[in-house]
Structure 1
């Protein structure tokens, strides 16, 4: 393996050593794999960004990642959603991971939900795990569910048994 003295040792390196050959070969394309199949193994790509000067009136749906900096009047469904500090969303947001730095007026449903210190949320949060930083403003209810993304249906609490019998 490598020793500490060898790593910090000053002096010129021989370009034919395995240490310099490995990084070069990692940047070279593999000709054994078709170009379309090489990108298929990627799990993440750069998020789509809606800038601060953009206003969207309608729903947004993607299987990728989205970062909102502007205003959205509608529902958003994504894999990962980041609500920027300058962003305002009026509608339901559903994603596996949600990071709120700005304002959301509507329901938030996600496996992992994080409200930063600059977050302003007015609506219910349905989550599997949640983190709320000191300074975040939140008005609504918080409900933990094992699968908050299931069918978009949030089960309501059943009325007390006596009230259910009286209503019949």
Structure 2
């Protein structure tokens, strides 16, 4: 399944429920439900979307429910997001009102301390109003 197509954007509609892991080289927009891990270049999650599994992306913009760890270079957590799981990031923006149950760690700290015993040093953090 390593076929390359000209499509650079994939959409999983709100009526779609997927059980299994998703790997995409393209950008991914999820409005439905996914039970499995997601790995993609860029992820946009709609407000009504639910993900139960780990997310790994270069950039992620989350607005729905996530139950699992998140690893992203650039992560935006919108006010409608409800996240349960650890968050690993290079740059992080959290809107006021977002709910996160888990630990935050800069990705450099994750590489140095797999048990998250050392605090992250000078992470980029922006709180949007």
Aligned equivalents of 1:122 and 1:156: distance in 2?
18
Aligned pairs for 1:71-150 within 5 A: 71-146=33-108
Question: Alignment length, in residue pairs?
Answer: 112
Mapped pair 1:155 → 2:114: yes
Higher strand share: 2
- State the secondary structure of the residue aligned to 1:99: strand
Aligned equivalents of 2:97 and 2:37: distance in 1?
26
Report which stretch shifted further, 45-54 or 76-85: 45-54
With structure 1 as the length reference, what TM-score do the two structures score? Answer: 0.62
Paired position in structure 2 for 1:21:
none
Q: Which runs of 5+ in 1 are unaligned?
A: 1-41, 160-168
Larger radius of gyration: 1
Compared CA separation, residues 146 and 69, structure 1 to 2 (3 A): same
Q: Which runs of 4+ in 1 moved over 4 A?
A: none
Compared CA separation, residues 138 and 158, structure 1 to 2 (3 A): closer
Aligned equivalents of 1:126 and 1:118: distance in 2?
20
With structure 2 as the length reference, what TM-score do the two structures score? Answer: 0.80
Paired position in structure 2 for 1:32:
none
Q: Which runs of 5+ in 2 are unaligned?
A: 1-5, 119-129
Paired position in structure 1 for 2:121:
none
**Aligned Cα root-mean-square deviation (Å):** 2.2
Paired position in structure 1 for 2:30:
68
